[in-house]
Every structure is written in C-alpha cells, then in structure tokens.
Amino acid sequence: MSDENLLTRREFTVESALAMLAGVTIIISGCGDDDNNATPAPSPTPTDKTGTVSTDANHTHTGAVITAAQFTAGNALTLTLTGAATHTHTVALSQAELTQISAGTRVQKISSNDNAHTHTVTFN
C-alpha cells in the first residue's frame, strides 16, 4: 500500500467520528425557562342564566335564575320558584349540573311536588 492512501491520525479520528454519527439523530431542545411568556387564556366570565319553567296546572312560576356569583361559587344550590300562585316549588342543582349549565349544555330538572303538581325547569 502506498503512502498516498494512508490517513493521518487526525483524518482517521474525524472519519471515525463521522461514521459513528452517520445514523444518529441529535435533538436539541430548550428547557422550560424560555422567553415565551404566553399567558393562558382566561376562563370566560360567568353570566346569569335564566331557566324556562313549564306551565303545569294552568300556571307557571318565576325564580329559575342562577346568578354569575352562584356559578363562580361552584356550590350545589336550590332555587325557589315563586309567582302568582299561592305556593312555591324548589329545584335542586348539583355542582356538576351547574358546570354543565355554565358551559351551555341543556339541563332539565323537575321541581318539587307542591300543591299536587311539579314543573320542569330547562336551562339551555
């Protein structure tokens, strides 16, 4: 073999390193402390929601209103349905139902049975 085909130690080291890295993928990623200070989008502000009370026993009631403060509190609650009638009804709503109503999901609840009838309250 002639001296023309021989590699120097440096050339051999470079060629060896390139051969080893030929099939390697190097991924460089940044750590979590970057300059991208993106702030998450705020949750929509809750608003009052009024339910529709069915007409049963030839009358209806009012009072099917969930306030923004009640949505924010996130606790189960009981609404009192009043109106021109001489009696009232109640409608109990769980935390899960309040979350659904706040998100715009349709929820229907049957009121308490007072004066021998109930009413259906629908939140859209």
pLDDT in tens, 87-99: 999 999 999 999 9
Q: Select from 79, 92, 86, 81 the least CA-distant residue to 53.
A: 81
- Residue 42 corresponds to which tokens in the numbers above? 């705020």
Element holding 120 (H helix, E strand): strand 120-123
Predicted TM-score (pTM) of this structure: 0.63
Distance of CA 62 to the CA centre of its chain: 30
Domain ranges of the chain: 49-123
CB contact set of 70 (below 8 Å; sequence gap of 6+): 77, 98
Strand partners, 56: 59
pLDDT digits (tens, 9 = 90+) for 59-105: 999 999 999 999 989 899 999 999 877 899 999 999 999 999 999 99
